Structure 1
Amino acid sequence: MEFIKDCLKEVYDPELGVNIVDLGLIYDLQFVDGIVSVVMTLTTPGCPMHDMIVGGVKRALEALPEILSVEVEVVWEPAWSPSLMSDEVKEDLGYM
């Protein structure tokens, strides 16, 4: 499963310039029989980059030969907060 997270680190929130894994947007990953299911959120419900980020997740994962299909579910509960970011990103963005 680590290879999936590594792949998702190539998908960035264009407004913050931080990858979606370290930003804390990925809530759950499942990989069964070549199908990846991603449960994720965005920093705000009205995020104008919604389609771009979700599309980036799909494109990045579909490029992996082990993956046959990708399902992405965007959820709003629990709500995203800066506490979900990695310590390195918190420091880089001035939250520490």
Structure 2
Amino acid sequence: MIEHEALVQALKTVNDPELNVNVVDLGLVYSIRAEDDRVDVEMTLTSPACPMGPEILRNSVAALEKVEGVAKVDVKLVMTPPWTPDRMTDDARDELGMF
């Protein structure tokens, strides 16, 4: 069985290259589901036109594939609901100087 926390920690290694904050703390990850050796993730971007989107998605897949027990990863990009800064953790706000 794949540990959910291991998947979260793996995604915390993936930074938005423009903001230099991880995708979990930015609130870009909407759901993580694991079944057998497969992981399905729904995530978004800070903007539909984000030029770093393909890189973020590739890095997310690569990070999750490193988790023990994971054989298949599907990261689906969704734009609903749209991302807002309200989704960020306090840690992300601190890193970005948003108080």
Identify the TM-score tier after normalising by the shorter chain: over 0.9
Partners of 1:16 and 1:22 in 2: how far apart?
11
Question: Paired residues, what number?
Answer: 96
Cα deviation code 1:68-88 (max 9, x no counterpart): 100011111111011100012
Residue 22 (1) aligns with residue 28 (2): no
1:76 alignment partner, SS class: coil
Aligned to 1:49: 52
Alignment match, 1:59: 62
Percent identical across equivalent pairs? 43
Q: TM-score, normalised by structure 2?
A: 0.93
Q: What is the CA distance between 1:13 and its match in structure 2?
A: 0.2
- RMSD of equivalent CA atoms: 0.8
**Contact 2:21 2:95 (C-alpha < 8 Å) held by counterparts:** no
Quote the offset at 1:66 in angstroms: 0.9
Please list every run of 5 or more consecutive structure 1 residues that lacks an aligned counterpart in the other structure: none
Among 67, 70, 89, the residue aligned to 2:73: 70
Partner Cα distance (2:94, 2:64) in 1: 28
Distance (Å, rounded) in 2 between the aligned partners of 1:10 and 1:82: 20
Q: Secondary structure at the match of 2:74?
A: strand
Structure 1 stretches of 4+ moved >4 Å: none
Measured against aligned partners, the alpha-carbon deviations of 1:2-46 in whole angstroms (never above 9, x if no partner) come to 110001100000000000000100000000011000000000001
Deviations 1:32-65 (A, max 9, x none): 0110000000000011011100000111111223
* TM-score normalised by structure 1 residue count: 0.95
Q: Partners of 2:12 and 2:20 in 1: how far apart?
A: 11
Offset, 1:94:
2.7
In structure 1, what is the Cα distance between the partners aligned to 2:44 and 2:23? 9
